[in-house]
Amino acid sequence: MKLLSIRDVIHIYRIPKRKIEIPVLNGVTTNFKAGQIHFILGPSGSGKTTLLKIIAGILKPTSGKVVDERNNSISSGNIAFLHQNPILNTFPNLTVRDNIIIQMSALRQDLDFENILFLFNTLELNINLERKVSNYSMGQIQRIGIVLALIRPVDVLVLDEPTSHLDMENAMNLISILQNIAQKQNKIIIISTHSQELASNYPFQVLVDGRLVNLTLEEAIEEYLVHKRYFQSTENPNVSGQIEFTASCINGKLKLPPFLVALGDWVRYLSISFTNEGFILEHDKAVEAKLEIPLPKDYDQKEIDCIMDLDKKLIIGRWKNP
């Protein structure tokens, strides 16, 4: 594949029974060339993760399409997607070797450990294949996930905040390695980040309010605030718009990130109702949630994708594996 094109992609989260619509992407159009890494920058809640999941074929857009240079739809089998949380890219309670075997078995390929060890060396990973993945640091686990993704014969690698667990020096080093991989293997590598410093030497675009803009990240954030995405007025610190975030699930309880309270005191008082696709948390003065909400007993996922509508005072959660 020489080119991946996104054309007029619009995405709206809808819950018809509740007549709820939350726009996330608003006509995104852009191109990504092979042999190069590409950055998508943007403030939290700008729609970066949603866009990456649409590119990877994990999420279907409301309208628009993702195509190659021949205007053909791209098979999700030709794209590898890595979550921001490194744990989700591996089987953490298994050894590194077992993770490799599972990946190769899924691809119905014979094990080629010489090539796999070459990939580990390329990612500058000196690890013991017999150790459990969970015994390594988050930064190392993220690199293990990248190796597992590169085992697959894909043309496109999509990484959601792959440097979030690294300091700037190690982050820069990882990006340099990924750029070399993109050039030598003629791959399209798309990376989301909050760091303009990280992306400054590579092609990057800024996503804000669901659209790509020709601004620096600092300018985009300023525009984000000027348009009252976060602050309606200096007198009223409450916020408007929508924000994407990831919540954790621990011991059967949904744990909302504490920063949400700063966006609106109503977050402390939530009632929950369940849908086939997930759940809805709504402002309810009679229920003090304390940022912890019980979930079904059989629900064992570690993370839940959420979108917060600050105008309607509700949070929508989507099961990753409905």
How far apart are alpha carbons 102 and 96 in whole angstroms?
10
Which region holds residue 222: left if phi is over 0, alpha if psi is between -120 and 50, else beta?
Answer: alpha
The rounded average pLDDT for each run of 10 residues, N- to C-terminus, in the chain (322 residues) is 91 76 85 93 80 92 92 87 90 92 77 79 87 92 90 91 86 92 94 84 80 66 47 40 75 73 70 82 75 70 78 81 54
The pLDDT score that the predictor gives to residue 52 is: 94
For residues 317 and 247, the answer to whether their CB atoms sit within 8 Å is yes
Can you state the angle between helices 113-122 and 138-151, rounded to 10 degrees?
A: 140
DSSP 267: G
Question: How many residues can be counted in the chain?
Answer: 322
How far apart are alpha carbons 141 and 294 in whole angstroms?
29
The pLDDT score that the predictor gives to residue 31 is: 92
The pLDDT score that the predictor gives to residue 256 is: 78
The pLDDT score that the predictor gives to residue 56 is: 92
The pLDDT score that the predictor gives to residue 234 is: 34
The pLDDT score that the predictor gives to residue 237 is: 41
For residues 88 and 49, the answer to whether their CB atoms sit within 8 Å is no
